[in-house]
Amino acid sequence: MAGLFWLQPGVNRVGCGDDCLVCLPEGPAHLGDLLWQSGLLLWQPVDGPEQSLQTDLNGAPSVVDFGDWSFFVVDREGRLAARLRDRAWAAKQPFSGLAYFDDDPQWVIEADWETLSPPLSMEVPNVSGDLKQVEVGHRAVFNVGGEPASLLPMAVSDNEVFFVFRDRTSGRETYGAGRFLKVPVPTGRKIRLDFNRAYNPPCAFTPFATCPLPPPENWLPFPITAGERKWLPK
Phi-psi region of 67 (alpha: psi -120 to 50; beta: other; left: phi over 0): left
Task: Using pLDDT thresholds of 50, 70 and 90, give the confidence band for residue 89.
Answer: confident
**Cα 144 from chain centroid?**
28
CATH number of 3-92: 2.60.200
Mean pLDDT of 37-50: 93
Which residues, at least 6 apart from 43, have a Cβ–Cβ distance to it below 8 Å?
A: 32, 33, 34, 35, 50, 51, 52, 53, 62, 64
CB atoms within 10 A of CB 214: 24
Portion of the chain with pLDDT greater than 90, in percent:
71
pLDDT of residue 6: 93
pLDDT tens, position by position, 111-155? 999 999 999 998 887 766 677 888 999 999 999 999 999 999 999
- Residue among 123, 155, 124, 150 nearest 139 (CA): 150
Q: How confident is the model at residue 78 (pLDDT cuts 50, 70, 90)?
A: confident
Peptide bond into 125 cis (omega under 30): no
pTM equals 0.75
Which residues make Cβ contacts (< 8 Å) with residue 99, sequence separation at least 6?
228, 229, 230, 231, 232
Categorize the per-residue pLDDT at 100 as very low, low, confident or very high, splitting at 50, 70 and 90: very high
What secondary structure does DSSP assign to 14-81, as a single string? EESSTT-SEE-SSS-S--EEEEEETTEEEEEESSS--EE---STTSSPPEEEETTEEEEEEEETTEEE
Residues ≥6 apart with Cβ < 8 Å to 204: 175, 177, 230, 231
Domain with CATH 2.60.200 in the chain: 3-92
pLDDT digits over 154-197, tens only?
999 999 999 999 999 999 999 999 999 999 999 899 999 999 99
Element containing residue 131 per DSSP (H, E): strand 131-144
